[in-house]
Amino acid sequence: FDPDWLALREGADAAARAAELLDPLRAALPPDEPLVVWDLGCGTGSLGRWLSGRLRGPQHWILHDRDPALLDRARTNSYVTADGLPATIETRAGDLGALRAADLVGASLVVASALLDV
């Protein structure tokens, strides 16, 4: 995808997100532990920017995409938690087909917005 096109649609994507799922998600996450969140097919990181601001506490985001240009754009954005803390991010380029369950050990949450509908 073109990073500029993704930037244009970010507001519409944010408005379409299922905010009613936030409370059940928060309840399912480990309490009082730093979160490690994998964003598969992250693009420019739109979902992470939206979701990190709705979750409390320390967060480390692992952004995974096959497109290095999208990952470069994702790296330039800040993630801030609901309590105002900066979240850390790292990016990983590669084909999701090469990921194994062992790669995700330690993840608190795995998200994949708009990945499965392509």
Give CA–CA dist 86/11, Å, rounded: 21
Question: What's the CA gap between 52 and 31, in Å, rounded?
Answer: 15
User: If the chain, 118 residues long, is cut into consecutive pieces of 10 residues, what is the mean pLDDT of each piece?
Assistant: 64 67 90 94 89 95 95 90 94 94 96 72
Domain definitions of the chain by residue range: 3-111
Residues comprising the chain, all counted: 118
Closest by CA to 61, choosing from 85, 84, 41, 35, is: 35
| pLDDT value of residue 55 | 94
pLDDT (0 to 100) of residue 8:
61
pLDDT of residue 19: 76
Q: Does residue 115 contact residue 41 with C-beta atoms inside 8 Å?
A: yes
State the pLDDT at residue 5: 58
In whole angstroms, how far apart are CA 79 and each of 15, 20, 82? 18, 21, 10
User: What is the model's pLDDT at position 31?
Assistant: 87
Q: Given this model, what pLDDT does residue 116 score? A: 64
Query: What pLDDT shows up at residue 99?
Result: 93
On whether the CB atoms of residues 36 and 107 are closer than 8 A, the answer is yes
Distance CA 82, CA 79 (A): 10
